[in-house]
Amino acid sequence: MELAEGAVEAEPVALTERLMMNLVLLNLQQALCPALATNPRPRPRQLSRTQAMPPLQPWTTLDVMRGSRMVLLALLSSQALSERPGADWDSSSSSGGSGSSGSSRSSNEWEEMMGRARWNSTVATGSFAVLLQGGAYRHRSRITYKIGPERYSFARLQRDFGRSDCDASCKAMFRFTLPDLRRLHCALRLPAKISTGHNLVDSEEALLIMLRRLSYPATLATLAWPTGRHPAQISRIFNGMIRHLHSSLTHLRDSRSLECWGPHFPRFAAAIHRGGRRSRRRAYRPMPLTNCVGFIDGSNQYTDKPGMYQHILYNGHKRAHCVKWQGIMLPNGIMPMPFGPVHGRNHDALMLEYSGVIPAMRRISARLGCDYQLYGDPAYPLSPYLGAPFPSTILLNGAEAQFNVDMSRSRIAVEWGFGKVKGNFAYLDFEKGMKPYLNDIQRYWPVAQILTNCHTCLYGNQTSNYFNLPPPQLEVYLAMGSNLPRY
């Protein structure tokens, strides 16, 4: 009978040890991997056949342990857990009575000591498992990339594209010719070194890597050989250069970039009223408005499907996930005041209200003593500073229909501007590369639009040719608005 009782009591002891081991590992996982602890791996029986998950490798649960510092934290955590009393975890000590005889006291002390020994052994086993799991990543085979022998610099481009017949190759790769790249580097007033958050790199190399990355979508691994950098370094340099331009060119992103063109509004209104022409052989087509100085519209930048809050970025009209940007096109080909990003589900009228374009137009008109307005599509509300075509929901007469036709010929200029931004810097139009919670999308578009304006200053564009208004010089454009007050 005593053997049977001993055999019955052996099962709770083994169960207690297993529970203690699981509890130790769970506490260590919560201390070292809070993200994995809050989102545990689902059980296999909860998954369907189409959602089968491969077996989890031992090192993936603690993959964040990247060195001896995390291993030391694991040991400290296990040492703190080992200081807990073992009597609370021993079932026999908690259920035993408080006898008055010395034999019963010695028995209880012996059981408590054995409970502490089993607890310390379990903690030591867990600590050893953590050490193995934390160092397992060092024994895995790492991915290596073939890195080029030389990094980007103007001296290297001079050897590769220094001949006059190579300007097209340099422009196709960086969107600017080599002499204009040097001019752009000086006009941007870049420092000698650009911070990437980890180290400092030459501003020439950072500018070339940024232009190369924006020009056309490509994986970082394919850029490792031509740039002479590791893919991780390319990503850091690219993001560091984007952050520098986004913070240093604030006057070209806010309302000052529009208000600085206020003295030119009479010339812009006269050019739009005169109309444009597709070629020199064709005559100008007059526009009915006499106080229109530009055109406004919104553009969708499609993104990858986000992992959370998908309904915020989902656009029901386009049936895709995207963010919206607002652009203004002046008749000289410059697109000032890029505003965004706005959630893809929001309307263009909401984006107009948040952007502050109407208050900026009101301030400019007050200084000039004449009301000037922008022209948009029917989605925008009418105001003294914003015009729109007659709605097609009502019966239009001949004059109103002709007004819509004439203004639509000029309003297409803002679509030309958006097309040039996405055409020169096609990386923005790469849907799989625009990840809302991974990439810095809010800085990509403004910087690309400013670089597109720089491209217009050097080579012109379709809008400036259509209205026969030359764009400003590159140095003049990059300095405009810096001396105006910020609202």
The whole-chain average pLDDT of the chain stands at: 81
* Helices (runs of H) and strands (runs of E) counted in the chain: 20, 8
Contact 275, 230 (CB under 8 A): no
Q: Are residues 240 and 271 in the same domain?
A: no
* Of residues 190 and 105, more confidently modeled: 190
Shared-domain flag, residues 344 and 294: yes
Going by pLDDT thresholds of 50, 70 and 90, the confidence category of residue 276 is confident
> Does 420 lie in the same domain as 372?
yes
Domain tally, the chain = 3
- pLDDT-above-90 percentage for the chain: 57
Q: Which residue has the higher pLDDT, 124 or 224?
A: 224
Q: Give the least confident one: 243-247, 401-405, 450-454.
A: 401-405
Residue 116: CB atoms within 10 A of its CB come to 18
Answer whether residue 144 is part of any domain. Answer: no
- Clarify whether residues 226 and 260 are in a common domain: no
The type of residue at 199 is N
How much is the pLDDT for 241? 97
Residues 200 and 309 reside in one and the same domain: no
Q: Are 448 and 474 in a shared domain? A: yes
Task: Give me the phi and psi of 304, to 5 degrees please.
Answer: -70, 160
Annotate 180-208 with b (16+ C-beta within 10 A) or e (fewer).
bbebbbebbebeeebebeeeebbbbbbbb
Say how far apart CA 451 and CA 471 lie, in whole Å.
14
Higher pLDDT, 386 or 121: 386
Same domain for 257 and 243? no
Residues 126 and 216 occupy one common structural domain? no
Task: Say yes or no: 199 and 275 in one domain.
Answer: no
Please tell me which residue, 127 or 79, carries the higher pLDDT value.
127
Q: Which residue segment(s) compose the domain that 16 sits in? A: 2-39+57-88+110-139
Higher-scoring residue by pLDDT: 476, 307:
476
User: Which residue carries 């690219």 as its tokens?
Assistant: 238
Verify that 277 and 301 share a domain, yes or no.
yes
Both 230 and 373 in a single domain? no
pLDDT at 3: 43
Tell me, yes or no, whether 232 and 312 share the same domain. no
Query: Which tokens sit at 318?
Result: 């386009």
